[in-house]
Amino acid sequence: MRNLIAAFILGFILFACGTSNKTINTNNLPEHAVRIANDSLEYEIIIVDIGFDTYLATIAQPMNFYSQNYYEVKNRFYVTEWNYRARTPSRFNTSIYENEIDYNSHTDYGLEVNYKLFNYFKFVEYKYKQQFN
């Protein structure tokens, strides 16, 4: 089940970075799905990891707790570490790190996207007991 969830999450992350004009119907998503989007960049991530929406609502700090710059710096670190783990399946759990994340540090994804991506990494640490060094 974790393989399926991780595949959905990372699949959406990878496809979300494209520049196509495709529309994704978010009405058919599972109830617990969380949509991360910057419509002006045509960028969208849909996280279907059970518990992430509850984590955002109950454990995560409010969006404006940190600045967008803070989230961007942290996300660069987290994405680098995530991608290293995805490329090293012999050392890390492949059911968590199935695919690499395409995150361009020179793109302004906006506060909401960076906030939710940052908190997804915090959620992975919390739920799966992972530590990003």
Please count the structural domains in the chain: 1
* Tens of pLDDT, residues 60-118: 999 999 999 999 999 999 999 999 999 999 999 999 998 888 899 999 999 999 999 99
Q: Does residue 133 sit within a domain?
A: no
What is each CA distance from 67 to 20, 35, 73, in whole angstroms? 29, 21, 10
Domain assignment present for residue 13? The answer is yes
Domain that holds residue 119: 2-128
Summarize the confidence of residues 4-16 as an average pLDDT.
51
Q: Cα dist. 15→11, 19, 42, 58, 124 in Å? A: 6, 9, 11, 29, 20
Say if 79 falls within a structural domain. Answer: yes
pLDDT at position 16 over 80: no
What pLDDT does 49 receive?
85
Higher-confidence residue of 17 and 120: namely: 120
Q: Is residue 103 part of a domain?
A: yes
pLDDT reading at 30 higher than 90: no
Q: Provide the token pair at 7.
A: 């595949």
Question: What's the pLDDT tens digit per position in 35-44?
Answer: 777 777 677 7
pTM higher than 0.95: no
Residue 34 falls inside a structural domain:
yes
Tokens of 89: 């399946």
